[in-house]
Amino acid sequence: MIKHANRYWRVLATGFSFVLFALGGLLLRILVFPVLNLLIWERQLRVLVARRVIRLVFRGFVGCMRWLGVLDYDIRGLERLERQGLLILANHPTLIDTVFLMAFVKRADCIVKRRLWDNPFTRGPIRAAGYISNEYCGNEHGGGLIEDCTRSLQRGSNLIIFPEGTRTAGDGQINLKRGAANIAVRSLSNVTPIVIRCLPPTLGKGVKWWQVPPIAAHFSIEVKEDIDVHEFLAKAGSEVLAARHLTAYLQDYFRKESQGYAAA
């Protein structure tokens, strides 16, 4: 009886969390960011302040979900994020991975799907923070996207990318696209991997928000040691081969890390 009551509560709390997230984005768009536009004229400074606001709001949102009993989490290796100009690549098991990373990564930048730029609940924060649009992804070589990402890293932003391009498939198999490795190789940026694990699984691909697990999900987020991109370039001899080898390495890396946790 108690287990059933707890599960029903988490369904309600999860629904409330989604409503809260949407309303929060709308309020930021209507009340907060217009004030920033009036007070801060210099665009880059305004973007930095907007990103800090979003980080604090997301930190509060994650804390609220924990307080409601929807989930719990632990983070390891957070001190490795106390740097600037990081290229952060992470696996993507759940819908709220972005929220977690944006809540704990300072000076965070990210690549955002075009549809979110036009969503009334998300477009205010996204545009105010100057995140990178993925509209270039349809290009043959994605040159514009790589250039935007390189500039972001050079400005000292910590760029968050999910190399899978979408959430991990329901069977748990991780399949990476080559775009993230291209950015790493072309910008000569070492990779800072973040492994996100969630047990029991929740908010995965194809899972509805009300399909909560039997017990509250526990997120384990681990910032791993950097991966040296220069070694791949030196061995491959070309950017194309280096990106291909790096993608294969990262795919195997994230698969092993995820499976190792599940087995444990």
What is the pLDDT confidence band of residue 135, given thresholds at 50, 70 and 90?
confident
Does the pLDDT at position 129 exceed 80? yes
Kindly report the backbone phi and psi dihedral angles of residue 169, in degrees, each rounded to the nearest multiple of 5, phi listed first: -60, 160
Contacts of 42 (CB under 8 A, 6+ apart): none
Does the pLDDT at position 261 exceed 70? no
Per the CB < 8 A criterion, the answer to whether 75 and 104 are in contact is yes
What is the pLDDT confidence band of residue 131, given thresholds at 50, 70 and 90?
very high
Q: Which among 146, 154, 150 has a CA at the least distance from the CA of 178? A: 146
How would DSSP label each residue in 3-46? HHHHHHHHHHHHHHHHHHHHHHHHHIIIIIHHHHHHH--SHHHH
In sequence order, what E strands does the chain have?
71-76, 87-90, 108-112, 132-133, 158-161, 191-199, 217-223
Distance CA 223, CA 90 (A): 9
Percentage of the residues of the chain whose pLDDT score is greater than 70:
94
Tens digits of per-residue pLDDT, 85-116? 999 999 999 999 999 999 999 999 999 887 78
What is the pLDDT confidence band of residue 260, given thresholds at 50, 70 and 90?
low
- Give the dihedral of Cα atoms 113, 119, 124, 130; nearest 10 deg: 10
Which pLDDT does position 143 carry in this prediction? 55
Tens digits of per-residue pLDDT, 39-65? 999 999 999 999 999 999 999 999 999
Q: Which among 125, 146, 122, 124 has a CA at the least distance from the CA of 134? A: 146
Q: How many residues does the chain have?
A: 264
Q: How far apart are the first and last CA of the chain?
A: 29
Does the pLDDT at position 159 exceed 80? yes
The per-residue pLDDT of the chain, averaged, comes to 91
Q: Are strands 217-223 and 191-199 parallel, antiparallel or unpaired?
A: antiparallel
Tens digits of per-residue pLDDT, 204-224? 999 999 999 999 999 999 999
